[in-house]
Amino acid sequence: MLIIFLGVVSQWIAWRMQLPAIVLMSIAGLLVGPLLGIISPATSFGDLFNPFISLAVAIILFEGSLNLNFKEIRGFSKPVWRIVTFGAFIAWIAGSLAAHYMAGLSWAVSFVIGGLFIVTGPTVILPMLRQAKLNARPAAILKWEGIIVDPFGALLALFAFQFVMFAMGNETAGAFGLFFLAALFAVILGAGAGFGMGRMFEKGQIPEFLKSPMVFGVVLLAFVLSDLIMHETGLLAVTAMGMTMANMNIASINDMRHFKENISVLLISSIFVMLTASLSLDVLLEIFNWRIIAFVLTTLFIVRPLSIWLSTIGTDLTKQEKTLLGWIAPRGIVALTVSGYFASTLLEAGFEDAELLTALTFALVFSTVVAHGFTIGWLGRKLGLASSEKPGVLIVGAGRFTTMLAQTLKDLDQKVLLMDPSWGRLQKARQNGVPTFVAEILSEHTEYEMDLTPYEVMIVATETDSYNALAVNNFVPEMGRLNLYQTAIHTGDPSDFHASLSGRTLFGDDWNIHELEWKSEQGYAMRKTQITEQFTYEQFRAQSIEGTIPLFVIRAQGKLEFFTSGNGVEPKTGDAVVSFSPPEHQKMRVQGKLETSKTKAGSQSKE
């Protein structure tokens, strides 16, 4: 209970305070484990400890590989493949040299652990990317590297171990053949399982309610079957399975991906707490060994930058992108779990210096998670590779009203983008200098053609209620329900349709997009009113002409808050209210100015 609770609460605190979640989870585990001695997961779980973590890692890696659609790296696949092949090889050699000369490990142990430390992995990089809001290209490269290199790092360490055993005369040359056959079997098994599941989905042979559980079971089966043949090949099998399904254009892949993502968040939260809580005080104290510190610093500032800069020679990556990629490489769960396996295996083989591996691995994992977790967003913004502007508003559906809304937001120095599949409907906005994008928001191609990262708020205001609900529901996992808005239902009683709404009802239940369009044609205009101590919001409401619709509030700090159904937005002194006012308001303002000028002229004539 405590493990799950602490993991989830750490994620929530990280979200609230915009901190790296993994850092908080690691700290929580250290507090309740070695520091306070409240729990010891390794003792409590016993023989189930390692199997549970291994199966959890398999699910997390599969969920990550479900996002590896080749369309995403169209146009920059060359640097991706260079980094995961040539870059990984350089990182292995350089990391092994660092382990030998800095950490003082024997050559055999150094090459085993050097292979393992090339991994970054989805357990750490995906949560960081979620918070950092990097541009699409560097984010995609980091994601692909983390997921693809994860199983290869474990296999590379296994290959190095097999080679060491062969050199010592403990293994025959046939062991190498078995190693490659086992790896090939894992790829075939994973790809075959993924293709088979995908075909069954497409033919409707699995009902909707069984799709996620069925995939869940097959992932674990493929992982265990591969691992039984040769240790650590299971990770390769689940990665192959996920990539196969991701590129089959399965209609229901998004629903399954969201389910797996929820499971992965829970597993990541729990596992990090479990692993850190299971460490002993001796291991923590060992971390401060100067050799370990020297190894960590060498890995951070020499090995990683060297592997990225050398492997990307001749690619179109900019210096800024190479700098960011050369710094960000957090190690995670796979490094911790697999190093434990190799530590015990190497000790049994007679390599006494392998007892240092647990402390060495945790020092690298914790250092990279903290250093990269706290700097990825800052460095991305400094290099111009992350959104440094205030969050923008994406408006889907170009009409007279939405064009006016986008124009008003632009005039108020708010980042805004108006999207519609029709070039003609966007013409008025383009003429007024409003940023536009011709695309279908529900199209899979849109996800790869444009970067939605800078837009925190989405407003869907097309003329079709069902489309609005569908579009908003599609982006709930990425943007959160509080940041998604749709115009009111215009058919029947809106109160009967609240259950079908996926987002918040914009401007209240009475103002659907057809009403707003009609008012736009009647001469309604958008008006900004400053709230002061002399002119309060209550006075603004009292003096507003009947039919005035409050749209949104710009807080004194610059934050936008939209009026919605059931949402009590209370403008305060220093805020500005933007409303949709009838044409009578403009007539009253003109009349008021005329009367004021007449009064002044009369007083001047009397003088």
Give me the pLDDT at residue 93, please: 92
* Residue 27, both tokens: 């700290």
Give me the pLDDT at residue 437, please: 87
**Cα separation of the two ends of the chain:** 85
Contact yes or no for 203/154 (Cβ under 8 A): no
Question: In 3-state terms, what secondary structure has residue 554?
Answer: strand
Q: Tell me which amino acid residue 282 is.
A: D
Give me the pLDDT at residue 170, please: 65
Give me the pLDDT at residue 173, please: 66
Q: What crossing angle do the helices spanning 136-167 and 49-65 adopt, rounded to 10°?
A: 140
The Cα–Cα gap between 319 and 313 comes to 11
Annotated domain spans of the chain: 2-382, 392-595
CATH topology for 2-382 is Na+/H+ antiporter like fold (1.20.1530)
| Other Cβ atoms within 10 Å of 237 Cβ, number | 33
Give me the pLDDT at residue 94, please: 93
Q: How many CA atoms lie within 13 A of 365 on its CB side?
A: 28
Q: pTM of the prediction? A: 0.70
Nearest CA among 332, 347, 333 for reference residue 50: 333
Task: Show the low-confidence residues of the chain (pLDDT under 50).
Answer: 493, 496-499, 590-596, 598-599
Give me the pLDDT at residue 590, please: 44
Which residues lie across from 506 on neighbouring strands? 564
The Cα–Cα gap between 345 and 177 comes to 21
- List Cβ neighbours of 316 (8 Å cut-off, separation of 6 or more): 76, 78, 79
Strand 504-505 and strand 549-554: the pairing is unpaired
What architecture is domain 392-595?
A: 3-Layer(aba) Sandwich (3.40)
